[in-house]
Amino acid sequence: MPEIFWGVIRERVQSNGASESSGIDTEPLGCNTRVGPVRIALGDAGAARLLVPVKLEENRFECETGPNLYARLSMLSLDGQPRQFIDLCCNAADLEPIFSDFCEQVCRHLDSGLTGKPAVLKTIEEFRQLFQRENQKSVELSKVLGLLGELSLLNDLLEQNERAAATWLGSGPHRRDFVGTAIAAEVKASVRRGQPIVTISSIDQLEPGTDEELFLVYYRFEEVGGNGLRVSALVEAARENAVDLDHLNKRLEAAGFDNDARAAWDARAFRVVERRMYSVPADFPRLGRDLMIDGQLRPGVSNVKYDLDLDHASEWRLDPPKEQDFLTRLAGATSEA
């Protein structure tokens, strides 16, 4: 991983200073080209830096990159010999994890047969929006996962009914994430490995209504590199398939998603490791007012949250035919369907 090498060089520079006559301390990244290995280095103030070797006769490299990434040709002396590199440096410390993914993606393109310049240009294009934002912090992981989960389910519903966006209520004062006629769903998402434990955010969240059948949909994601699933890709897929764009955009706004801030939402990429669906009847493992003697919390008790291990809910997990039946019912359960 590139970040490990940057850490090694930072420690070495802090202890001993730059070790090479050029003043540049580098580490090979384990990716080779015909003109030499790709290297990791540091820029000004310890900024993360990638050096992709190119032929000495290469005399031009022009590319728009945005304020957080610079790219240029640099001539350096390594082992007493002149070497030319496409020199890429990340100017925003909070974007270093993305730049690490960027470096790995460059190496993937090189391993696939591209030479240095085409590999770098292709990767810059793939990551362009992530480096163009200015002074914009990434969205906290819990919010990203929440929206990823809800949009993943929404896109599954839209594949069956272009009007299914009307069922999505998501963020706000609503009790359920998705609500149709006599059916509702809560969505939970996690990157936690091991036991499928989810946080239930209120005492009422899994309490079945008298006029609805409630379901729980669980996604486990894994954080990956540059080609993973990002929030904006799911947003665009939903916008492409939904007919009620006004409702969709209002729900996205309520979730905090802004087109101008999409880079902040896309700072992390994921893949879906697992999806589970459960029916939530009255005897589902949960807390609820209906399970209390008088239906009320004791005075002074509020904001109740609890963790639920879904391995203890296997009795209520849907098999594939029942999953499809649930999706079909929820997708069709709109007032306009």
- Please tell me the distance from the alpha carbon of residue 18 to that of residue 8, in angstroms, as a whole number: 12
Alpha-carbon distance of 139 to 55, in angstroms, equals: 40
Where residue 328 falls among pLDDT bands split at 50, 70, 90? Answer: very high
* Model confidence, pTM: 0.60
Looking at residue 291, its pLDDT comes to 59
How do the domains of the chain map onto residue ranges?
A: 2-132, 141-332
- Say whether pLDDT at 186 is over 90: yes
Highest mean pLDDT: which range of 166-170, 174-178, 287-291: 166-170
Residue 17 has pLDDT above 70, yes or no: no
- Main-chain phi, psi angles of 146, to 5 degrees: -60, -45
How far apart are the C-alpha atoms of 232 and 162, rounded to whole Å? 19
Question: In this predicted model, what pLDDT tens digit does every residue of 19-65 receive, in sequence order?
Answer: 443 457 788 888 988 889 999 888 876 788 999 999 888 877 877 66
